[in-house]
Amino acid sequence: MLIGAAGCGGTPGEEKQSTAEKPAADVQTDGFEKLGPVTLNVISGEGSGGPREAIKKLTEQFEAKYPNVTVKVGFRDTASWFKQAKLVAASENPPEVFAGNQGFQVDGELVKAGLILPLDEYAKAYGWNDSFTEETLQQFKWSEDGKTFGEGKLWGVAQSGQSTGVFANMAKLRAAGVDPDSLKTFDDFDAALAKLREQLPEDEPVIALGNKDQYGAIHMWGMVQGAYTPAQEMRDWIFHKDGATFDTPGNVKSLAKIKEWADKGYLGPGDSFNARNDAEAAEAFGKGEGALMLGGNWNASIAKDGLGKDAAFFDMPPGESGDTVAIGSASLPMHISTKAENPDLAAAYIDFITGPTAAPALVDTQQVPAATDGTAEPGDPLGQEVKAGWDKLVEDGGLTLYPDWSSPTMLQTMGQTFQELLAGRIPPEEVVSKTQADWDKYHQELAEG
């Protein structure tokens, strides 16, 4: 106890109790009607667009399946959820099911503090090891001390595959004479940007960007990085392999490239992109602002709702390597709190929203199911393009995952330095050195045990 510790001149905090694992025989996968009236509290960290709609629909279906169960879903916007997740998980009455984020900022800390349950037995019971690819499951595996990422027990599963790519407003591309099919390489894409800049009015951005929450620019950069750097390099760096480094010529070049875009006015007048966040930029793009949006496929339904047939999606064309590389991963994993009263019910809900049953709802909202054994195929052209984009990245092994996973403070470090880079306040080299310094510091902490 903290007060006692103070009194004895001890140290704050206490050792965590180890979480006991449920034996396979005890795992219940159905028959929840017998529980009587029961409430399940859920928090989703993706409170806008397609993911929100999908969860709402799937929750309704789950409640229809188990009429005695009431599911209360709370939605949060992603950036602030990353900041609050640990506090909520550690609170007196945390929700039974809540989203985390892969990497050392959220999931690693949750595991380290013993706030979520290992799910290996549920994986066996529901067949998750077959439904999801090893690359996907790896994102949710941790050693019990939260120090080794990518191996160990399974701590969550996710609904969809989320990659980043290029959304296009086809009406504007046609007006400028730009044909996406003709853009075979990154250099072609770069040239097309200049054409679009000439065509559009001066105060309209070519690329609709919203960087207020400090991750929009990182995602945009990720697909530019892909033209200069192999994906495996980033993955090694994120998983903290010894000797991995962010300080590479490819990274410096790609950072210089997005700075060039800002200087040429592709991102809009002044720093206006810093005044709105990712979702707001997507809304604006959907309402016709800008010719392109370089961001995540979770905004696909916003683009579709706004632009209808004029909305298109394609991967960023490859660089010299010929491989399509961009930031992408499974979506936010859903965890079960250690304080959950009905963990089996919670696991059943998670299986319902991520497994094969979820595929139709996901596909209807232009998302790509992470589970590979669903049978739903996207019905609309944009959904098909999103899926094709994801498939190509998987095929080329080009999903770099997210760089901010690499330390608890990395999102803040990269977020701030990217903002300063685009505002012309620091050079690309400084972004690289600050990022690597953060990584080195945390790498040492991990090594010290």
Partner 1 sequence: MASRVGAPAPPARAQRAGGAVELPQLRVRSRAPGEPRRVAYLYLAPAFLFYVVFAFVPLAYTAWLSFFDWDGLTVGTWTGLDNYDAILSDPGIRDSFVHAFELIVFYALLPVVLGLVLAAVIANGRVRGVTFFRAVLFLPQTIATVVVAIAWVWIYAPRGPLNEVLDAVGLDAVSRGWLGDFTYALPALGLVGTWVMFGLCLVLFLAGMQKIPQTLYEAARVDGAGRVREFFAVTLPGLRGELAVALTLTTIMALRTFDLIYVSTAGGPGTSTTVPSVLVYQNAFVNGRVGLAAAVAVVLTALIFAVAFAITRLVDRDPGR
Partner 2 sequence: MTEARREQLLSYAVLGVFCVVALYPILSIVFLAFHERSDLVTGFALPDSLSLDTFRDAWELGGFDRGLLNSFIVAATVSIVTAALSTLAGYAFGAMRFRGSSALFYLLLIGLIFPYEATVIPLYYVFKDYGLTDSYWALILPQIGLSIPFGTFWMRAFFRSTPGSLVEASRLDGASSFVTLWRVLLPQAWPAITTMIVLVFMWTWNEFLLALIMIQSDELRTAPLGLALFAGATRSQDPTLTAAAAVLVALPIVIVYIFLQRSFIRGMFSGAVKE
**From candidates 7, 8, 87, 375, binder to partner 2 by CB under 8 A:** 87
Nearer of residues 105 and 277 to partner 2, judged by Cβ = 277
Residues between 236 and 295 with contacts to partner 2, criterion CB under 8 A: 276-277, 279-280, 282-283, 287
- Total of residues contacting partner 2 (CB under 8 A): 27
Residue 105 near residue 410, CB atoms below 8 Å: yes
Residue 69 near residue 63, CB atoms below 8 Å: yes
The rounded distance, in Å, linking the Cα atoms of 284 and 196 is 18
Minimum gap (Å) between residue 414 Cβ and partner 2? 21
Residue 87 near residue 110, CB atoms below 8 Å: no
Nearer of residues 12 and 243 to partner 2, judged by Cβ = 12
| Alpha-carbon torsion angle 251, 253, 258, 263, nearest 10 | 150
* Residue 279 interacts with, from partner 1, partner 2, none (CB under 5-8 Å by kind): partner 2
Residue 405, both tokens: 């996973």
Return the closest-CA partner of residue 135 out of 238, 19, 243, 2. Answer: 238
Minimum gap (Å) between residue 198 Cβ and partner 2? 27
Phi, psi dihedrals of residue 205, rounded to the nearest 5°: -75, 155
Nearer of residues 33 and 445 to partner 1, judged by Cβ = 445
Nearer of residues 74 and 250 to partner 2, judged by Cβ = 74
Residue-by-residue DSSP string for 108-151: HHHHHTT-B---HHHHHHHTHHHHS-HHHHHTTEE-TTS--BSS
Angle formed by the axes of helices 249-263 and 428-448, nearest 10°: 140
State yes or no: residue 47 binds partner 2 (CB under 8 A): yes
* Residue 77 interacts with, from partner 2, partner 1, none (CB under 5-8 Å by kind): partner 2
Question: CB neighbours of 167 closer than 8 A, spacing ≥ 6?
Answer: 285, 292, 293, 294, 295, 299, 300, 303, 311, 312, 313
Residue 50 near residue 301, CB atoms below 8 Å: yes
What number of CA atoms fall less than 13 Å from residue 87's CA on the CB side? Answer: 5
Nearer of residues 76 and 235 to partner 1, judged by Cβ = 76
Residue-by-residue DSSP string for 352-385: HHHSGGGHHHHHHTT-EESSTT------SHHHHH
From 83-91, 187-195, 252-260, 379-387, span contacting partner 2 (CB under 8 A): 83-91
* Residue 449 interacts with, from partner 1, partner 2, none (CB under 5-8 Å by kind): none
Minimum gap (Å) between residue 337 Cβ and partner 2? 12
Nearer of residues 13 and 37 to partner 1, judged by Cβ = 13
Residue 446 near residue 147, CB atoms below 8 Å: yes
**From candidates 35, 38, 90, 193, binder to partner 2 by CB under 8 A:** 90
Q: What is the largest CA-CA distance in the chain?
A: 75
State yes or no: residue 430 binds partner 2 (CB under 8 A): no
Strands (E), 256-413: 292-296, 311-314, 328-330, 334-336, 368-369
Q: In terms of residues, how long is the chain?
A: 449
Nearer of residues 14 and 179 to partner 2, judged by Cβ = 14
State yes or no: residue 197 binds partner 2 (CB under 8 A): no
* Residue 376 interacts with, from partner 1, partner 2, none (CB under 5-8 Å by kind): none
* Residue 76 interacts with, from partner 1, partner 2, none (CB under 5-8 Å by kind): partner 2
State yes or no: residue 93 binds partner 2 (CB under 8 A): yes
Question: CB neighbours of 43 closer than 8 A, spacing ≥ 6?
Answer: 73, 74, 75, 76, 81, 88, 95, 97, 98, 99
State yes or no: residue 77 binds partner 2 (CB under 8 A): yes
State yes or no: residue 80 binds partner 2 (CB under 8 A): yes
State yes or no: residue 411 binds partner 2 (CB under 8 A): no
* Residue 28 interacts with, from partner 1, partner 2, none (CB under 5-8 Å by kind): none
Minimum gap (Å) between residue 84 Cβ and partner 2? 8
* Residue 112 interacts with, from partner 2, partner 1, none (CB under 5-8 Å by kind): partner 1
The rounded distance, in Å, linking the Cα atoms of 150 and 160 is 19
**From candidates 68, 84, 129, 232, binder to partner 2 by CB under 8 A:** 84
* Residue 88 interacts with, from partner 2, partner 1, none (CB under 5-8 Å by kind): partner 2
Minimum gap (Å) between residue 411 Cβ and partner 1? 10
List contacts with partner 2 (CB under 8 A): 1-3, 12, 47-48, 72, 74-77, 80, 84, 87-88, 90-94, 276-277, 279-280, 282-283, 287
